[in-house]
Amino acid sequence: MKAISCPKCGNTRLKCINNHLYKCPYCDSLFDDDIRGEIKDISKSINGFLIEDGTIQKYNGENIDLVIPEGVTSIGPGAFASLGKYSFRNDDFYIRSVRMPRGVSEISISAFSECSELETVITAPGLRRINAYAFQNCKSLKSISLSEGLKIIKEGAFCGCKSLKVINFPDGLEFIGDHAFQDCTSLEEVKLPESVKQIGRDAFNGCTALKTVILPEDIQIILNGTFKECKSLQRITLPENLKEIEECAFYNCSSLAGVNIPDGVDIHETVMYKPWGNIGAFHGCDLSKVSTPVSRQRMKLRRCRYCGGRFIGSLFNKSCDNCGKKKDY
């Protein structure tokens, strides 16, 4: 029997997907082996986009400003990954911008990760999900237009996008995953729509230029490290429905000019007020500017606002017998 080979590149080491369907690992094309032992290409290439069942699997074109073809419904895993200058494909090739048509509903895992020269991404209505690490380390990405209908931004989706200054979070967005915007060091403002129900751990960790945050009313918990190391953060509006702030949530937010924590919020004393260690929710912040139900109650009892200890010393020079901090009220 005649050996089956890829008619595009001649490779004979094809991956058998089922009895009649093969995939070439070298050029990523699909082939159908019919009864006569002949082979035909059933994948489709449009302007360098290799498309299978509506999903872009790979790009082999030469345009740096990409317009995704009509009819595409998703961007496949790693489809454009590492297409930057000095990439594995060509020392001179990179992509600079991407425009998506209506109908693209999903951007898969690592689809554009490590595209170091990518500057602009424009999506269209219909996009519902951006999967994990989709744009990770796209260090030149300055703007991305997210259309209404987007529901989910998964973990690490924009992690390391160091040039991203502004991002519009559309109405209808519900979920932001762990590390989603970590180390976006140029991001200056976060204004989340009321539809957001959950923000993951370390979601904005290391956003050192972030100055203002407005959270939706339905957020009930701020998780571990969510705004950690946001050293320029000055103002944050906390929702009245907030129930808990976890450890390291605002770790080293040294510019925080004032935050009023609503009554009923659960902040574990041993986490927030422990005078040693480095896991406090507001460790590295000026706690005199953090107003909490616990600290207010302690001040009424003439106790240390930080740990609840008793004050000792002279009238004008009292300090806490537990943590050693001076009385400052």
pLDDT digits (tens, 9 = 90+) for 120-150: 999 999 999 999 999 999 999 998 989 899 9
Backbone angles phi, psi at 257, to 5 degrees: -90, -10
In a domain, 23, yes or no: yes
Q: What's residue 9's pLDDT? A: 62
3-class DSSP assignment, residue 299: helix
In a domain, 77, yes or no: no
Decide if 118 contacts 139 (C-beta within 8 A).
no
Higher pLDDT pick, 215 / 22:
215
Which pair of tokens denotes residue 221? Answer: 């918990």
In a domain, 34, yes or no: yes
| Angstrom distance (rounded) from CA 31 to CA 21 | 6
Q: What's residue 273's pLDDT? A: 44
In a domain, 232, yes or no: no
- What confidence tier does 103 reach under pLDDT thresholds 50, 70, 90? very high
On the question of pLDDT at 35 being above 50, the answer is no
3-class DSSP assignment, residue 298: helix
**In which domain, by residue range, is 13 found?**
1-42
Higher pLDDT pick, 266 / 212:
212
Give the DSSP H or E segment for 86: none
Residue type, 61: G
In a domain, 32, yes or no: yes
Instruction: Provide the mean pLDDT of the chain.
Output: 82
Task: Choose the weakest-confidence range: 105-109, 174-178, 209-213, 265-269.
Answer: 265-269
Q: What's residue 33's pLDDT? A: 57
In a domain, 8, yes or no: yes
Give the CA count within 13 Å in the CB-facing half-sphere of 216: 18
pLDDT digits (tens, 9 = 90+) for 45-84: 778 898 888 999 888 888 899 999 999 999 999 999 888 6
Q: What's residue 101's pLDDT? A: 94
β 39-41/30-33 pair status: antiparallel
pLDDT digits (tens, 9 = 90+) for 248-303: 899 899 998 877 788 778 775 444 444 444 457 887 887 666 666 555 555 555 67
In a domain, 5, yes or no: yes
Strand partners, 107: 75, 130
- What confidence tier does 26 reach under pLDDT thresholds 50, 70, 90? low
Specify the residue for token string 């190391």: 229
Q: Please state the rounded mean pLDDT for residues 177-200.
A: 96
Q: What's residue 11's pLDDT? A: 64
Q: Total domain count for the chain?
A: 1
In a domain, 22, yes or no: yes
β 290-291/259-260 pair status: parallel
Region of residue 252 (left: phi > 0; alpha: psi -120 to 50; beta: else): left
pLDDT digits (tens, 9 = 90+) for 304-323: 766 777 888 876 788 888 88
**Taking the complete model, does pTM exceed 0.85, yes or no?**
no
Q: What's residue 274's pLDDT? A: 45
